[in-house]
Structure formats: C-alpha cells, structure tokens
C-alpha cells in the first residue's frame, strides 16, 4: 500500500480491510454447528446472568419480610450452576472455533509461504514472515475466542441490564447514564493513545526478536568478529526503547487506574446515597437497590470489554493487511505447463537480461549454449553474475528479457516441479537440514527410495566410509542437535543427495574454501561420479576443473566475454589468462604447504 495516501483513502482502506478479513474468515470456514451452539449458549448465559440480580433482590425483600425463602435460594443456586455451565461450555466452544480457524489459516499461510517466489524472500525479512505465521494469526484467534461472539452477548447484557435498570428506577438510571458519555469522553482519547503505544511496542518487540534471531543464529560470526559489544548496544537500544514505551503505558495507567476507581467509588457513593434516600422514602425497596447495584456490576465487565474489543479489532485489521500482503503475493506457477522432457537437450541462454528488483541489470544480453552431456564451466570475477545464472536456471527468478531454452523450448513452458526435478544443485555451502544424515540424503527425493539406493548414493559420493564410522551411522543427527560435519563431509552428503535425485542437469558451485587435500580428493572423486553422463554447469574456482571442461564461459560484469576451451582462451582472452595465472599460483602455493 502507498504510504502517502490521504485520510479519505484511509477510511476506504479500513473498509476494504474489513471486507477482506470477513472474506478470509469465510474462506477459512467456520465449524458452523459449534459456532451456532456457542452463540446460543453465550446468549443464554448472559440472559441468565441478568436474572441473578433480580432474584437476589427478591430474596432480600422476602427475607426481610418473612423468614428465609428456601425455594428462592435453591433457584438461585440452580441458576448459578446453569450460568457457570453455559458460560464454560460456550467459552470452550468458542475457543475451539478460534483455534480451528487459526489452525486452518496457519496452514493456508504456510502453503502460501512455501509457494512464494524467491524475490519475496529477498524483499521481506524472514523474521517478519515467521511472525506473520505465528504471532499475527494468534491475534485473530484472540479476537474470535475472546471478543467477536462475546461482543454480541455483551451488547445483549448491556441492553437488557439497562432496560431492567430503567424498569427498577428510571430516575436513578438516568443519573448514572449521564456518567457514561463523561466516561467515554475521558476513555476514548486515552484508549486511542494506549492503542498507539501498544502498536509501537509490538513493532519494537518484533524488531528485538528479529535482532535476537539474527545474532543468535550467527553467533559464530559475532564472536569471531568481536562484535559482542556492537550487538550488545544494538540490543540495548531496542530494549531501552521498549522500556520507554512500557513507561509511557505505565504513566497513562497510573493516571487512568486511580481515576477509574475514583469514578467507580463516586458512582457507588451516589447510588448508595441516592438509593438510600429513595429506599427510606419508600420509592425503592432494599432488595431493588441491591438488584440495581448488582446489575451495574454486571454491566461493568461488558463495558471494559468493549474497549479491548475495539483495540483488538484494530490490531486484527493491521494483521489482516500484513497477511493480505502474503496471501495476495503472486505464487510460483507450480502446476502449469507441460512436463519437462525426459531426455537430455542442449541448454541455451539467448540474449538474457536480468536485474534484481529495480536495481542495475546484473546480466546483460547473455548468450551461450551448454551442450548436453558435457561439462561447461562458468568463470569470472566475484559479482559477475555466475550464481545469478544458476538462480535463473532454477527459475528462482524470471529473466527480464531474452530466453532460456531447453532444446528449442523455453524453460518457462515447463511445469515448475518437473523442471526443478531435472536439476541437481550442489551449492558452495552444502546446506544441511536439522535431522539425520539419512534424512538429509533423502531430502530431495520422495519416500520411495530404498535403503540400498541411499547407501549406493552414499558410496558413490565417497561418504559411506565416514558415515559408517559415525556413532549412529546414517542415523546420526547433524546440525543443531547433533554433530557438526566438516566442510568436505557436508559437501559429500550434499553430493549423495544430488546423486540420489539422478538429475539430468547438474549445477555445481565449486567450493572456494580450500578443503584439506584428503577431503578435496574425495570430493573431487565424488563429483566426477556425479558429473558422469549428465549435462553439467559448474562455477569453477579450480584450474583442474576448467582444464577438464568441454567448454568455458567467461562472465565479466554480467556480460559473456569469452567462450571456448581452456587452451583457446589462454591464447585469446586477456582476463582469462590473468584469472588462470592466479588460479595456478593459488593451486601451486596450496600444494607447497
Ligand atoms: P557471482 O556468483 O559471480 O559472484 P552473483 O550472481 O552472486 O555473482 O551476483 C551478481 C550481482 O548481483 C552482484 O552485484 C550482487 O550484489 C547482486 N545480487 C546477487 N544476489 C542478489 C539479490 N538476491 N538481490 C539483489 N542483488 C543481488
């Protein structure tokens, strides 16, 4: 939404938000029977609640005249029990409705988040998106469980109670009702201020959570960079700001709470004083006065609920807008298009231009062909766009211009799942998920992989030996809860994962971080297995890789500046010669060590 929209547009926005919220609820689907029963019970409970003061008053009047009226007391006891049961049941049912709605909404959001395209995650912070799925949905639950239905029964209670109050003593009721606009006059502006504070606190809390997630997640970097003090002050800043908002809230409460109790006491004094006069004049019985006071107490709770209902509603409107942003963001075109062909074809970039968001183009008129069943190496300085080429191949992003063709067809024509199913991606970092090594190897495949196939992949990736030597073998937990694997071991697990997928097209980002020479040798052997019989594109950092490549593509500043074999480029391409010389030096110096 545009931030510079004016107030008139704001009202419209509110309205569309409300409509959207209602639609969202409707689409999520209420358990209607439970909701209906809950509404009936909640209304019944409110109505019964109104009867209690009347019976109590009646009891007092009769009590003073005759002796104890057993039937009235019994009736009162029964009513208490019935009220408690209906109240409890209706709350439970409403909580069920609220939890069900939130559960469904979370699932819907989760589906959506998983189907969102990569640019979404570039644009919005992951901590924010996480909070949408967890916290924001909770606000909707609170609204449904504690407020939405309660609101209608509260209205009923107030209207009913006021009607009875008028019936008992209209003059006294009028006096009290005069206090209502006065109360609203004070409470509304304060409520607005409190609401603003609570929104700011919410934002600050989200910022703090996001900082904590980042710092705790990257604690090694923080420690290695001696950045504790920096992060400490960053955290302090947000915590202090939370403290300030907390104190602002406290300041308002410090005025508001005594004020409220003062008003209450004053009201009570007026009622008892004025009521006493009315009782002694005979206009009102003692029991009626008690009923009157009890009814007033009954109204207080719904009144205070109205205020929180309003602020909760506002909160949920904010939440709705944020959820809408996710729910209406275009998803990846998952199941459209024809299945990707099974056979190997040449892959070609034809005049591909691409820019991230609205930035400068990262690739400009990039054209090259990757022949089927051969190894093509991408080389070029860091930042030249090599990883971007991979991202475009994975269809994480769409090119701004030009075409990526598989044979003669655009890869956009293919069903996304089937296209990605053809690709095996081994990245530099070889990320592992928390879980066992087995789960990690089988991560990219369905459950229909046999134990033998998995072990075979482990063997071909030269990972079997080291995995077997681990305490629990393939069932060893890795990542957060388990052991940490070395860089080379991680890569081999990732290679086993890619092997198991039997990809037609392998995209491989060679690790720049030097592995120890044993590891490097093993990884190289595993990679050779992996590259066998498939089309491979490798971002090359080692001289040995480019020497063996069937074709090398040199990328510089997002443009292709050379295509050929190693020997050809060594003759013709100045920057390639420079690059090769550096790689050679790096290679020979590491061998010397
Ligand atoms: P290489 O892999 O050759 O080092 P990249 O393809 O990673 O280069 O990056 C090319 C350019 O694109 C760099 O200038 C980088 O800053 C930019 N870039 C990479 N990823 C993103 C992204 N997700 N959002 C915005 N810019 C990006």
Per-residue pLDDT tens for 339-359? Answer: 888 888 999 999 999 999 888
Answer yes or no: is pLDDT of 244 > 90: yes
Q: Which residue has the higher pLDDT, 223 or 4?
A: 223
Give every strand in the sheet of 409-410, ordered side by side.
Answer: 361-370, 347-355, 401-406, 409-410
Catalytic residue among 139, 510, 522, 556: 510
Ligand 1 atom nearest 122 alpha carbon:
23
Provide the pLDDT for residue 586.
Answer: 67
pLDDT in tens, 37-76: 988 988 888 888 888 888 888 888 876 555 666 777 788 8
Ligand 1 atom nearest 509 alpha carbon:
2
pLDDT in tens, 366-425: 999 999 989 999 998 888 999 999 999 999 999 999 999 998 899 999 999 899 989 988
Mean per-residue pLDDT, 111-119: 93
Answer yes or no: is pLDDT of 470 > 60: yes
In Å, how far are 60, 165, 277, 325 from 169, measured between CA atoms? 17, 6, 13, 53
Q: How far is the CA of 333 from the centre of ligand 1 (A)?
A: 24
Task: Name the residue with the closest Cα to ligand 1, atom 25.
Answer: 356
Task: Name the residue with the closest Cα to ligand 1, atom 19.
Answer: 388
Parallel/antiparallel/unpaired status of strands 423-426 and 505-509: parallel
Choice from 121, 364, 387 to test ligand 1 binding pocket (greatest atom count within 8 A of CB): 387
Sign of the C-alpha dihedral, residues 556, 560, 566, 572? negative
Is 451 an annotated catalytic residue? no
Provide the pLDDT for residue 593.
Answer: 29
Task: Name the residue with the closest Cα to ligand 1, atom 27.
Answer: 356
- Where does ligand 1 bind, in terms of residues with CB under 6 Å? 122, 356, 359, 362, 380, 382-388
Provide the pLDDT for residue 591.
Answer: 39
pLDDT category at 592 given cuts 50, 70, 90 is very low
> Could you tell me how far CA 332 lies from the centroid of its own chain?
18
Mean per-residue pLDDT, 287-313: 83
Q: Which residue has the higher pLDDT, 203 or 392?
A: 392
Provide the pLDDT for residue 570.
Answer: 86
Provide the pLDDT for residue 499.
Answer: 84
Q: How far is the CA of 382 from the centre of ligand 1 (A)?
A: 9
Ligand 1 atom nearest 539 alpha carbon:
2
- Are 425 and 505 in contact by the 8 Å Cβ rule? The answer is no
Q: How far is the CA of 364 from the centre of ligand 1 (A)?
A: 13
* Cα separation, 273 vs 539, whole angstroms: 89
pLDDT in tens, 510-544: 765 555 666 667 777 777 777 777 899 999 888 87
Provide the pLDDT for residue 309.
Answer: 84
- Are 509 and 428 in contact by the 8 Å Cβ rule? The answer is yes
Choice from 118, 362, 510, 560 to test ligand 1 binding pocket (greatest atom count within 8 A of CB): 362
Q: How far is the CA of 403 from the centre of ligand 1 (A)?
A: 20
Task: Name the residue with the closest Cα to ligand 1, atom 14.
Answer: 383
Provide the pLDDT for residue 3.
Answer: 46
pLDDT in tens, 245-262: 999 989 988 988 888 788
Provide the pLDDT for residue 150.
Answer: 80
pLDDT category at 182 given cuts 50, 70, 90 is confident
Q: How far is the CA of 114 from the centre of ligand 1 (A)?
A: 23
Task: Name the residue with the closest Cα to ligand 1, atom 12.
Answer: 362
Mean per-residue pLDDT, 462-478: 85
> Which distant-in-sequence residues (6+ apart) come within 8 Å of 453 by Cβ?
500
Task: Name the residue with the closest Cα to ligand 1, atom 22.
Answer: 356
* Cα separation, 569 vs 583, whole angstroms: 15
* Cα separation, 51 vs 164, whole angstroms: 10
pLDDT category at 278 given cuts 50, 70, 90 is confident
DSSP letter string, 359-396:
S-EEEEEEEEEE-TTSEEEEE--TTSSHHHHHHHHTTS
The first and second tokens of residue 125, run together, are 């912070």
Least-confidence region, from 154-168, 508-522, 546-560: 508-522
Ligand 1 atom nearest 391 alpha carbon:
6
Nearest to 510 by CA among 474, 549, 480: 549
Nearest to 1 by CA among 315, 324, 330, 327: 324
> Which distant-in-sequence residues (6+ apart) come within 8 Å of 285 by Cβ?
57, 61, 279
Least-confidence region, from 15-29, 208-222, 298-312: 298-312
Provide the pLDDT for residue 523.
Answer: 73
Report the DSSP beta bridge partners of residue 425: 507
Mean per-residue pLDDT, 431-460: 83
pLDDT in tens, 121-142: 998 888 788 888 888 898 888 8
Highest mean pLDDT among 59-63, 104-108, 148-152, 279-283: 104-108
Choice from 122, 356, 429, 539 to test ligand 1 binding pocket (greatest atom count within 8 A of CB): 356
pLDDT in tens, 366-379: 999 999 989 999 99
Q: How far is the CA of 118 from the centre of ligand 1 (A)?
A: 14
Give the alpha-carbon dihedral of 203, 208, 210, 214, to 10 degrees: 170
Q: How far is the CA of 427 from the centre of ligand 1 (A)?
A: 15
């Amino acid at each position: 939404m545009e931030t510079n929209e004016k107030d008139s547009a704001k009202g419209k926005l509110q309205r569309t938000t409300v409509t959207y919220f209602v639609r969202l609820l409707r689409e999520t689907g209420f358990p209607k029977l439970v909701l209906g029963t809950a509404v009936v019970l909640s209304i019944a409970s409110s109505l019964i609640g109104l009867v209690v003061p009347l019976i109590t008053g009646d009891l007092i009047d009769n009590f003073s005249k005759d002796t104890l009226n057993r039937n009235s007391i019994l009736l009162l006891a029964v009513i208490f029990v019935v009220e408690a049961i209906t109240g409890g049941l209706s709350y439970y049912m409403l909580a069920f409705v609220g939890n069900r709605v939130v559960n469904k909404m979370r699932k819907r959001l989760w589906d959506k988040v998983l189907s969102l395209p990569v640019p979404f995650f570039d644009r919005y912070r992951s901590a924010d998106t996480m909070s949408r799925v967890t916290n924001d949905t909770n606000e909707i639950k609170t609204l449904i469980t504690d407020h939405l239905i309660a609101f209608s029964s509260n209205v009923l209670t107030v209207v009913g109670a006021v009607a009875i109050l008028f019936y008992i003593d209209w003059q006294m009721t009028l006096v009290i009702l005069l206090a209502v606009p006065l109360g609203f006059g004070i409470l509304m502006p304060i409520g607005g201020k409190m609401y603003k504070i609570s929104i700011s606190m919410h934002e600050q809390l989200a910022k703090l959570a996001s900082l904590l997630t980042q710092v705790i997640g990257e604690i090694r970097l923080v420690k290695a960079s001696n950045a504790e003090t920096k992060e400490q002050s960053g955290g302090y800043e947000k915590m202090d700001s939370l403290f300030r908002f907390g104190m602002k809230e406290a300041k308002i409460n410090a005025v508001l709470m005594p004020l409220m109790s003062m008003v209450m006491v004053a009201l009570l004094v007026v009622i008892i004083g004025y009521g006493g006069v009315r009782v002694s004049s005979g206009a009102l019985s003692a029991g009626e006065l008690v009923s009157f006071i009890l009814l007033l107490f009954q109204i207080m709770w719904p009144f205070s609920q109205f205020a929180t209902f309003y602020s909760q509603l506002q909160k949920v409107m904010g939440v709705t807008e944020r959820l809408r942003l996710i729910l209406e963001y275009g998803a990846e075109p998952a199941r459209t298009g024809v299945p990707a062909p099974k056979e190997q074809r040449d892959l070609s970039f034809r005049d591909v231009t691409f820019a991230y968001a609205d930035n400068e183009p990262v690739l400009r008129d990039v054209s090259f062909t990757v022949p089927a069943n051969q190894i093509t190496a991408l080389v070029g300085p860091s930042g030249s766009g090599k990883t971007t080429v991979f991202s475009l191949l994975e269809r994480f992003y769409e090119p701004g211009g030009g075409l990526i063709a598989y044979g003669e067809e655009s890869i956009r024509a293919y069903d996304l799942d089937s296209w990605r199913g053809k690709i095996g991606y081994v990245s530099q970092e070889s990320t592992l998920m928390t879980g066992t090594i087995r789960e990690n190897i089988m991560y990219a495949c369905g459950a229909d992989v046999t134990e033998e196939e998995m072990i075979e992949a482990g063997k071909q990736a030269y990972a079997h030996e080291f995995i077997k030597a681990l305490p629990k073998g393939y069932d060893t937990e890795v990542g957060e809860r388990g052991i940490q694997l070395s860089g080379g071991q991680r890569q081999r697990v990732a290679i086993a994962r890619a092997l198991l997928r039997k990809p037609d097209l392998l995209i491989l980002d060679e690790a720049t971080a030097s592995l120890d020479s044993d590891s490097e040798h093993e990884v190289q052997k595993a990679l050779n297995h992996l590259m066998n019989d498939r089309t491979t594109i490798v971002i090359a950092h080692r001289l040995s890789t480019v020497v063996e490549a069937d074709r090398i593509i040199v990328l510089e500043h997002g443009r292709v500046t050379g295509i050929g074999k190693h020997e050809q480029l060594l003759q013709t391409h100045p920057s390639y010669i420079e690059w090769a010389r550096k790689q050679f030096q790096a290679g020979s110096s590491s061998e010397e060590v």
